[in-house]
Amino acid sequence: MTDSRPLVDLTGKTAIITGSTQGLGADIARVLARCGAAVTIVGRNADKGNELVESLHIQGAKALYSCTDIQQDEDIDACLRKTLETFGRLDILVNNACIYEDAGLASTREQWHHTLGVNLISAAIFTQKACALMKPGSVVINLGSTGGKFGAAGRALYPASKAAMLQFTKNLAVTLAPDGIRAVAVSPAWTWSPSVERLSQGSRPDADRVGAALHPLGRVGHGSEIGNAVAFLASDAASWITGVDIPVDGGFSILGPDQGQPPRLWFERILKQQN
């Protein structure tokens, strides 16, 4: 889903988006740039990062790439310094970077530390350093997930990190409010991304057919739809919103274990299978 019309006006604002060389982070960066923000693309894939920046420049956007390992403090410092030197300010931090390594209960101590280090701790440290440079009216937007709200067999690391991110957002909002800085979370459900693309073997129709069983709107999401929510929350139109999680999930989080189906259909389905 693409739309050339800017949702809101972010002209004059500068955004850093972590984990944005590809996938959802890149989609968010494209939307923010289309809305007028200068964007810093953050990640370790230089080829993809520079390719994205070049495409944004062609469209007339202001963008730069920062090769940054968010688990290294000196890399974060360099990214922030490069952003200020290039654009002169920082108004929006989007903590999007994450990994999906998850062996559930069988995960090792090292795997726990690695996942939490990337998905949670690095976001906290990036926020700590960025907020020192932000002025009133700025905002931190954390990417949560429906995975951080519900139980799932065989998983532990990723859901725990996202649940912690949602709680971190609440505490951050209260802490930063006296400085005039907002903190909000956005929680997507299944979104067309490299991971969903792999699971569906590159078939968007197949992804939508599978996703329809869990999303009342009948499909998986578009990255630009997540980006639109981020853009709104980053804008002055959302100046009275802080400390909350915005589900951008096609209705995923309103369903219970019955997936929105009445008992009669479940009895018919299961008993028919048994017979």
Catalytic residues: 158
Q: How far apart are CA 8 and CA 231, in angstroms?
A: 7
Structure tokens at 196: 């969903």
List, in sequence order, every beta strand (DSSP E) within 78-235: 92-95, 139-143, 182-188
Q: How far apart are CA 22 and CA 52, in angstroms?
A: 8
CA distances in angstroms from 155 to 83, 143, 150, 184, listed in the order given: 36, 19, 11, 25
Max CA-CA distance within the chain?
70
CA distances in angstroms from 162 to 126, 136, 154, 183, listed in the order given: 16, 27, 16, 15
Q: How far apart are CA 162 and CA 119, in angstroms?
A: 7
Return left, alpha or beta for 147; rule: phi > 0 is left, psi -120 to 50 is alpha, else beta: alpha
Q: How far apart are CA 156 and CA 239, in angstroms?
A: 35
